[in-house]
Chain A
Amino acid sequence: MYVFTLCVRYLRTRYIALASIISVMLGVATMIVVNSVLAGFTSEMRDRIHGFLADVLIESRHTEGIPDSQAILKTVEDAVGEYIEAATPTVEIPGLMRFVYHGQAYPVPVMLVGILPSGKAQVGPLRQYLVSYQPSEVDGRTMPPLRSMDDPVTWDLTPQAMERRRFEKASQWRQLEQHSLPERVDRPASDTMPLTPPQFDDDPAVQATDAATGVNAATDAAAAGPSGAEQPEEAPSFVDEVPLDILSDGAAAPVDDTAPLPARVFIGEGLISYHVRDPETGELQKVMMVDPGQDVTLTTVKSGINGRPETVSFDATVCDVFRSGMSEYDGNLVLMNLEQLQQNLGMLHRDSDGNIIGDAVTSIQIRLKDYSTADEVIRRLEQAFPPGLVSIKTWEAKQGLLLSAVELETAILNVLLFLIITVAGFGILAIFFMIVVEKTRDIGILKSLGAGSRGIMSIFLSYGMALGFVGSAAGVTLGLVFVAWINQIEEALSWITGRRVFDRDIYYFDSIPTRVDPFMVLWVAAGAMVIAILASVLPARRAARLHPVRALRFD
């Protein structure tokens, strides 16, 4: 009983013990906060990586793809049909995207991904990554999303994008009418730049001269009329099998030139935007260089005659902007309608009548009913496909390096933070030695009253445990409160220091993601208590071994 009474009494009267409680508390709180934020980041990142990658991927080992998506899907269905929720074919090929902003051409490397929107939406989240499904902020006001979440993902333009497209086409006509055409042929961009409004992106003449140098004659011919100027860009897209760089005659001009092109794309936001720091408010602002409704030029490679790579270029209308939050995707991906991409790459196989009899794809994305069956699915798929033709991986294996890097980071941070708690443990050790020295006479008194060495030892052990417990409890509370209010705390810190601690525009997060794992909290608290007890073992043994007479004489 005296163990308990004295332990509680020492806890209440020794203020020096507060120091060790605080150090344990801070260590525990730090560990909980850091672990929660890291776990939040990791799970958010996993969601985003996973979101785009589906569960299992069957990938062709080369860019020409594996023939006949229907046959592959049939094979997949036969092999692992019972585990699969959905599967969709895609074509992935690196390419170059070129767009015009303020009269300047911007070619950027991209990864072109041909998808079927409905199928893609089944294997993973797609809708919520498209900007037209997200609320937007205009001049500080939040605008409702352009599309409802119930709308299926299609390649249609939103009415707003159509409006922008019509407006731009009209302003292009006006530009063309105002300027005398011969001047435009040589350096149209620099001439028109000061006069053109920012939206004047798709100057067809720029594209014509850049994409097809040496065909000035065609441009000249087209210069005879406004419809002719548009002709070199639009025509190839409407004529199947005709690559863009073979300019056709202007006679085949379409009636409605504001109609979207057959090739439609969702462009990753990072590819077509940049951030500017507002000189007055100091806040980062995003500037979009291309908006939905405008056209871009895509260039990629297909295998031509005798298997030699041949470049292929075509124009595409931007339907939407893609924002997943993973810069790796947003700064790289251009999602395109699968069939148009296959056609431009020559992946559609036709019979003599022109009917499609098969198509090649470079990968199949599969969503499983239960991800825990992934290993079994992969094993079966590997048997179903001839080795060497495809590689079959889970999304985790595909992004393994990134994920394991984050895991390693978490592990190292945990080791370092646990060292902090160990430091707190050494603090307890030192403070306890002091308390034992201070209490030497009391220990002698207790022994003279009949207390055993064991009892004396357990006073100090329980004292250490109590310190650890109180410190852990306070630390857990502080940590959880900190995690719960982390965004407010971040805002307060930003306000105090005058600079943003966590820049949402850089990290793509609206708020700091956190995830509290109860087991983690339990482990941290238990670890802190174990350290506190271990630290009190040595002083407690010393106290227990004190000779009662010498302890009584101690002054």
Chain B
Amino acid sequence: MSSAVKMTTPLISARAIQKTYVTGEHRVRVLRGAGLSAMEGEFISVIGQSGSGKSTMLHVLGLLDAPDVGEVLYEGQRIDDLSEKARDLLRNRVFGFIFQFYHLLPELSLVENVMAPLMIRHSFVSWWKQRRQIREKAMHILECVGLEHRLKHRPSELSGGELQRGAIARALITEPRILLADEPTGNLDAETGQDIMGLLKRLNEDRQLTIIMVTHDESIAGQAHRIVRLRDGQIEKTTLAAAM
């Protein structure tokens, strides 16, 4: 599989990231110069204890959070210092996010949730013009993740595994190049978690989707190409996964 990974410039990389959170009197140094890079088509898992800074690393990579020191590069270009508008655009087009708690919008039905990123992308008029295609696309993606029978359901009516698959469908509809997953199996039982992992691996293989996944579960982490260990805000070591 490693032959699929192009050995040119990394698709995304973070260099010497430092990030300190200030809550009242406390200053928490979450990241202390950690770095990470991913080639196109690579599946990386970031593993570490709670508070090791792995989620923050993911947020910095996905431009949800800005680093205090360090830089984030996308295809070799710095993106963390772009304007807010440009960063919003990148989040909408390049990155797809999935979270531990799925984070679907409770007011929208499943299919609407999946369409939400495209709602954000399109203006009212262009949405209206393309509403059929967008809907078909959303249904197709839901079919891929095995949720075609749940289109009209509200998130509150779905199970955890279904919600996570819905969240993945939502992340995929924008055809992102990088999928950032924050503990995607953390809230699911082992079997459902394995289903989700299977789905992610399939996406990685079929679509050459670059996946960076944060987890604290060794068995889950081991299913990626490469495991990055974070400890106290620094990279402890990087290993190639035995399973691959």
Residues of A within 8 A of B (CB): 1-2, 4-6, 9-10, 13, 441-442, 444-453, 455, 547-549, 552
Q: How far is the CB of B227 from chain A (nearest CB, A)?
A: 24
A405 to B90, CA, bound (A): 65
Which chain B residues border A444 with CB–CB below 8 Å?
103
A451 to B92, CA, bound (A): 8
Chain B residues numbered 56-82 whose CB sits less than 8 Å from any CB in chain A: 56, 59, 62, 64-65
Q: How far is the CB of B185 from chain A (nearest CB, A)?
A: 18
B91 contact from A1, A13, A442, A449, Cβ within 8 A: A449
Apart from A450-B120, A451-B92, A452-B88, what 10 extra A-B contacts exist at CB < 8 Å? A4-B124, A445-B103, A445-B105, A446-B105, A448-B97, A449-B117, A450-B88, A450-B121, A451-B88, A549-B65
Asked if A10 and B107 sit within 8 Å, CB to CB, the answer is: yes
Chain B residues numbered 147-181 whose CB sits less than 8 Å from any CB in chain A: 170, 174
Which chain A residues border B170 with CB–CB below 8 Å?
449
B116 contact from A449, A453, A552, Cβ within 8 A: A449
Which chain B residues border A2 with CB–CB below 8 Å?
116, 119-120
Asked if A13 and B120 sit within 8 Å, CB to CB, the answer is: no
Asked if B108 and A1 sit within 8 Å, CB to CB, the answer is: no
Q: How far is the CB of A162 from chain B (nearest CB, A)?
A: 81
Chain B residues numbered 92-121 whose CB sits less than 8 Å from any CB in chain A: 92-93, 97, 99, 103-108, 112, 116-117, 119-121
A1 contact from B89, B105, B123, Cβ within 8 A: B123
Q: Kindly state whether residue B122 has any CB partner on chain A within 8 Å.
A: yes
Asked if B103 and A441 sit within 8 Å, CB to CB, the answer is: yes
Q: How far is the CB of A471 from chain B (nearest CB, A)?
A: 21
7 contacts between A and B (CB under 8 A): A6-B108, A442-B106, A449-B91, A449-B97, A450-B90, A451-B120, A548-B64
Asked if B85 and A447 sit within 8 Å, CB to CB, the answer is: no
A5 contact from B89, B104, B119, Cβ within 8 A: B119
A444 to B93, CA, bound (A): 17
Given contact pairs A450-B93, A549-B64, A552-B99, A9 touches B107 in the complex (Cβ within 8 A): yes
Which chain B residues border A442 with CB–CB below 8 Å?
105-107
Q: How far is the CB of B202 from chain A (nearest CB, A)?
A: 23
Which chain B residues border A455 with CB–CB below 8 Å?
120
A454 to B89, CA, bound (A): 13
Most buried by B among A449, A452, A552: A449
Kindly list the 4 A-B residue pairs having the minimum CB-CB distance in the complex, ordered from nearest: A450-B92, A2-B119, A1-B127, A450-B91
Q: How far is the CB of B125 from chain A (nearest CB, A)?
A: 9
A453 (CB) vs chain B CBs: closest residue: B84
Which chain A residues border B120 with CB–CB below 8 Å?
1-2, 446, 449-451, 455
A4 to B125, CA, bound (A): 12
Given contact pairs A548-B64, A549-B65, A450 touches B117 in the complex (Cβ within 8 A): yes
A452 to B88, CA, bound (A): 6
Which chain B residues border A445 with CB–CB below 8 Å?
103-105
Which chain B residues border A450 with CB–CB below 8 Å?
88-93, 117, 120-121, 174
A13 (CB) vs chain B CBs: closest residue: B107
A549 to B205, CA, bound (A): 30
Asked if A447 and B64 sit within 8 Å, CB to CB, the answer is: yes
Which chain B residues border A9 with CB–CB below 8 Å?
107-108
Most buried by B among A6, A447, A547, A549: A549
A4 to B120, CA, bound (A): 10
Which chain A residues border B174 with CB–CB below 8 Å?
450
Which chain A residues border B65 with CB–CB below 8 Å?
547-549
A355 to B124, CA, bound (A): 91
Most buried by B among A444, A450, A453: A450
Which chain A residues border B116 with CB–CB below 8 Å?
2, 446, 449
Which chain B residues border A547 with CB–CB below 8 Å?
65
B84 contact from A5, A10, A452, Cβ within 8 A: A452
Which chain B residues border A453 with CB–CB below 8 Å?
84
A446 to B88, CA, bound (A): 10
Q: How far is the CB of B26 from chain A (nearest CB, A)?
A: 15
B182 (CB) vs chain A CBs: closest residue: A552
Q: How far is the CB of B35 from chain A (nearest CB, A)?
A: 20
Given contact pairs A449-B120, A450-B93, A452-B84, A5 touches B103 in the complex (Cβ within 8 A): no
Q: How far is the CB of B57 from chain A (nearest CB, A)?
A: 12
Chain B residues numbered 34-62 whose CB sits less than 8 Å from any CB in chain A: 56, 59, 62
Which chain A residues border B103 with CB–CB below 8 Å?
441, 444-445, 448, 552
Asked if A448 and B64 sit within 8 Å, CB to CB, the answer is: yes
Asked if A448 and B108 sit within 8 Å, CB to CB, the answer is: no
Q: How far is the CB of B99 from chain A (nearest CB, A)?
A: 7
Which chain A residues border B119 with CB–CB below 8 Å?
1-2, 5
Q: How far is the CB of B164 from chain A (nearest CB, A)?
A: 14
Q: How far is the CB of A308 from chain B (nearest CB, A)?
A: 89
A378 to B93, CA, bound (A): 76
Q: How far is the CB of A6 from chain B (nearest CB, A)?
A: 7
Which chain B residues border A13 with CB–CB below 8 Å?
107
Which chain B residues border A446 with CB–CB below 8 Å?
105, 116, 120
A552 to B92, CA, bound (A): 17
A450 to B121, CA, bound (A): 8
Q: How far is the CB of A435 from chain B (nearest CB, A)?
A: 11
